[in-house]
Amino acid sequence: MNKNLSKKIPASYYQQEDVVAIAKDLIGKKIVSNINDQLTSGIITETEAYRGYDDKACHAHLGKFTDRTKVMYEDGGVAYVYLCYGIHNLFNIITNSKDQADAILIRAVEPVDGVEVMLERRNKLKLDKTLTSGPGNFSKAFALDKSHYGAFLTGDLVWVEENDQFRFRESEITTTTRIGINYAQEDKDLPWRFYLNTSKFISKR
């Protein structure tokens, strides 16, 4: 059995009910893309949780259902990719069960495999924290865009793996408020962003 396949996280993981707990638990796991036979991977270092119906920062707030948000209402374990400011593809993982519309935004990763490929995609000459810090930079480095909208995270294009070799303490995860959601009124203050404070690959501290 392929060693990587054996570590691939199953759909049942994403279908747990607590999107905030999953967002925190994803820190330290490895995300992998295999686009056009070019494999890239990195350790997830920063996430944000968005909770469907009652979260004013969520695209599915109050049951909003559009061509853009419809994938959010699927069972957890699929990708929700949308264009931000007409420039950046932002990659989210849908969680919970059908019609709950919970999502986790991947904000940053620490590169592991395919660094040269990432540099080429980002038109960069050297590795620094901006390569994969920030959700738009991460998506570009991993070649994830709107064509991956609805992709199954149990498939062969993009997935998350257990990362048994990577160890860290609970104190190394910082819990704080989400970024760029001032429109969300009181929900902008929810402590639903998590990041690995020992990594330099973080969008904002």
Are the C-beta atoms of 57 and 181 separated by less than 8 Å?
yes
For residue 4, pLDDT beyond 60 = no
Helix (H, G, I), strand (E, B) or coil at 56: coil
Indicate the helix (H) or strand (E) that contains 13. helix 11-14
Q: What is the pLDDT of residue 6?
A: 60
Looking up tokens 């992998």, which residue turns up? Answer: 32
Q: What is the pLDDT of residue 86?
A: 78
- 41-80 pLDDT, tens digit each: 999 999 999 999 999 999 999 899 999 999 999 999 999 9
The sign of the dihedral angle between the CA atoms of 196, 201, 203, 205 is: positive
